[in-house]
Amino acid sequence: MRARSALLYTVLRLAAFLVPFGIMMLFPVMREYYWLSAIFAALIGLSLSTLFLRRPLADMTADLAAGRGERSARRVSDEQVEDAATDISADEPGDDEASTPPTTPSSPAA
């Protein structure tokens, strides 16, 4: 479903640019200034997509967010790795004596 919504939104955005650009290129004046036609077509396409493509954009972003949530749920966090390492080191016998530093006897005050 993710690929479908992204593909649909991309095709509609391209159509919102290419249709005005094609119409403007039919005029002889705009053929001479093709770069101006491209700028106008981009502005028209941006306006059309802002007005009419809100739902496809919302669908695409929802699908992207769902995919990112699935990916982050499968990923192991640093805290989980550190907790697992701490649990393993706490379960090892005889490690407590080696981890404490030796104490020196204090000398009596004179």
Digit-coded pLDDT (tens) for 73-103: 666 677 777 777 787 877 766 555 555 565 6
* Domain limits, the chain: 1-66
Angle at 13 between CA 11 and CA 17, to 5 degrees: 115
Statement: the pTM of the whole predicted model exceeds 0.75: no
Query: Rounded to whole angstroms, what are the CA distances from 78 to 44, 74, 84, 107?
Result: 47, 13, 10, 45
